[in-house]
A and B are shown apart, each in its own frame.
Chain A
Amino acid sequence: MSVYLREYLTVVWFGVAALAIGGLLLGLAALVRPSKPSYDKGIAYESGVDPVGIGWSQSQIRYYVFALLFVIFDVEAVFLFPWAANVERYGTFGLVVMLVFIVLLLDGLVYAWKRGLLRWV
């Protein structure tokens, strides 16, 4: 494995370490904690009142439009980063091109704003 890929392997080890320490602590807790399940403990908590219907109730997905907007902006931010690290190399040409790009980005936001999509109704 190349040195380059080996560095990324460190990220995997950190992930494994997180799961290991979490699992270890939970395992330790499993040794000392009591386990006395009962019907009442298994009911969903709704401030003491018996739950009405099922927990996966229908609710307005208000953040749907925000999620779409987020995807657009996040993808565009990905394009901005490689340029941002090399601003001096691309000079005025790169600057003008990217400013046009940022203005187009803002244009999308202004459009959503004018349509009233940025309100959490």
Chain B
Amino acid sequence: MIQFAIEIPYWGQSLLRVLGGLVAVLLPAGTIVYLFLFKMMSFMQSRLGPMEAGPYGSLQLVAEVGKWMQKEDLAPDAADHRIFKMAPLIVLLSTFLLVVIVPFGPDAYFTNFSVGIFLGLAVASVSVLGILIAGWASANKYALLGGLRAAGQLIAYELPMVLAVLGVVIQAGSMNMQEITVAQNTGSWFGLDWFGSPFIVTQFVGFVIFMIAVQAELTQAPFDMPIAESELVSGYMTEYSGFRFLIFFIAEFATAGVFAFIASVLFLGGWGIPFSWFGWDNIDQVPDWMNLVGPLIMFTKMLVLTFIIMWVRFSFPRFREDQLQTFAWKVLIPLALLNTAITAILKVAF
């Protein structure tokens, strides 16, 4: 444990946490948009992507924010103005509440709740409210249809996600994010101590279900029916312009980053895994410098997972609305329940 030379007062600690939270939300969002959305997608489509702003277009993000800031903030006359303006902030709120549970090191965490992942699953669904509000308040038929589709999709894919997490909770015997990390670091596979025992090995079905559900929760293709541009213009975002639209956009990719953080804690061993060869089996034995290395490890894992999300997004055609619902209810949920039952039986038997 870290001993500070001076005791930091509560307001100082909270300020540090909030600043850390800002970095943990906005840095992944910026990286994902530049690296994957601007550059990787361009290379996959045999073009260069942004090249003008800064070396290799690396300042394109700054240029984009500057551009969006100068756009007029329009709202349809018929819209319900007050909640129309609130909706993007609610979606952003959901992202910030979600990052609260992610640990980045033995002492580098925002909160250390005993019910960490449970809280995360609860606040993740706040974004549904924002999207439904946006769709309804716009007073536009495209937006309304998009909002209803989004609500139907988000609740359908929330269940497989919750049930996939259940398998991890059974294996770790805890809902605390730190204890889930420790549970993966203290095991070993085939005598390989440094490898730990990441739950992606034992919970591979759970991992796949979780990632599919994340893809759907983020409304990334092939699950982008709510904003299907060929039939609904832009779904619930149709009437948004200027900076409010950009907030939806930022929140979407920030949430992608945060979900990837959560997935790397649940399935890839969080901040510990490649360094578990130092042979610790208790969180108090972890050296202090892991608080610096931990965030880097988490960031690397986040990039790997968001790479997979974006790769799938750029590769697969869109599901039809009925296929999308059928896939959640008839394939993923029974599979996730079966996974939970088998995990529980094996846990009790061994």
Interface of A toward B, CB cutoff 8 Å = 6-11, 13-15, 17-19, 21-23, 25-26, 28-30, 32-37, 41-47, 51, 54-57, 59, 61-63, 66-67, 69-70, 73-74, 77, 80-81, 84-88, 91-92, 95, 98-99, 102, 105-106, 109, 113, 118-121
- A18-B97, A35-B73, A74-B158 known; A29 and B242 CB under 8 Å? yes
Q: Could you tell me the distance between the alpha carbons of A22 and B271 in the complex, rounded to whole angstroms? A: 29
Query: Which chain A residues lie closer than 8 Å to B95 at the CB level?
Result: 18
Interface hits, B112-141 → A, CB 8 Å: 112-113, 118-119, 123, 136, 138-141
B39 is an interface residue with CB less than 8 A from chain A:
no
Query: Which chain B residues lie closer than 8 Å to A63 at the CB level?
Result: 148, 151-152, 155
Query: Which chain A residues lie closer than 8 Å to B169 at the CB level?
Result: 81, 84-85
20 residue pairs of the A-B complex, CB under 8 angstroms, read A6-B10, A11-B100, A17-B21, A18-B97, A26-B244, A33-B69, A33-B70, A41-B72, A42-B77, A45-B238, A55-B76, A56-B144, A59-B141, A70-B155, A73-B159, A81-B175, A85-B175, A88-B348, A120-B152, A120-B321
| Interface residues contributed by chain B, number (CB under 8 Å) | 81
Task: Let me know if B69 and A43 touch, CB within 8 A.
Answer: no
Beyond A67-B151, A88-B347, A91-B348, 11 additional pairs, beta carbon < 8 A? A7-B111, A14-B21, A18-B89, A21-B92, A33-B70, A42-B77, A51-B140, A55-B79, A70-B159, A95-B348, A118-B325
Query: Which chain B residues lie closer than 8 Å to A106 at the CB level?
Result: 334, 337
Contact partner, A113, options B142, B330, B348, Cβ 8 Å: B330
Pick from A42, A69, A84, A102 the residue with the most CB of B within 10 Å.
A84
Interface of B toward A, CB cutoff 8 Å = 10, 14, 17-18, 21-22, 68-79, 88-89, 92-93, 95-97, 99-100, 110-113, 118-119, 123, 136, 138-145, 148, 151-152, 155-156, 158-159, 162-163, 166, 169-170, 173-175, 233, 238-239, 242-244, 247, 321-322, 324-326, 329-330, 333-334, 337, 340-341, 344-345, 347-348
Q: Could you tell me the distance between the alpha carbons of A45 and B322 in the complex, rounded to whole angstroms? A: 26
Query: Which chain A residues lie closer than 8 Å to B247 at the CB level?
Result: 22, 25-26
Query: Which chain A residues lie closer than 8 Å to B152 at the CB level?
Result: 62-63, 66-67, 120
Nearest CB of B to A28, in Å: 7
Contact partner, B141, options A36, A46, A99, Cβ 8 Å: A46
Chain B residue at minimal CB-CB distance from A121: B322
